[in-house]
Amino acid sequence: MTPVEIIAAINAAITLSKNLYTLYAQVMGDQPIPTWDELVVQNAKLQAKIDAEKEG
């Protein structure tokens, strides 16, 4: 593995841990489950990035 691939793998592992923890915490009641309106906001944020990429 190259150093870049190692860093990417570490980043991916951290991302996976964070995502799994978020889902676990939501189900266990430690974190609030997002409302539909909050999900709309998250969706709009990604859409803005996609649109910027399409235009750029």
Partner 1 sequence: MYKKSIVIGICLLFVLASCATFQDKWNGLQQNEKARVIVGGVQKELNDLFDIGKAYVDANPDKKEMWKGQVVPAFDTANKTIAAYIVFIGKGEATPEGAVNTLFPLLKSVVNLLASMGLDMQTIENIIGGVE
Q: How far is the CB of 22 from partner 1 (least distance, A)?
A: 7
Query: How many angstroms separate the CA atoms of 10 and 2, rounded?
Result: 12
The two three-digit tokens of residue 39, written as one number: 């999900």
Q: Is residue 6 a contact point for partner 1 (CB under 8 A)?
A: no
Q: Is residue 36 a contact point for partner 1 (CB under 8 A)?
A: yes
Most distant CA pair in the chain, distance = 42
Query: How many angstroms separate the CA atoms of 24 and 42, rounded?
Result: 19
* Residue ranges binding partner 1 (CB under 8 A): 4-5, 8-9, 11-13, 15-16, 19-20, 22-24, 26-29, 33-36, 39-40, 42-47, 49-50, 53-54
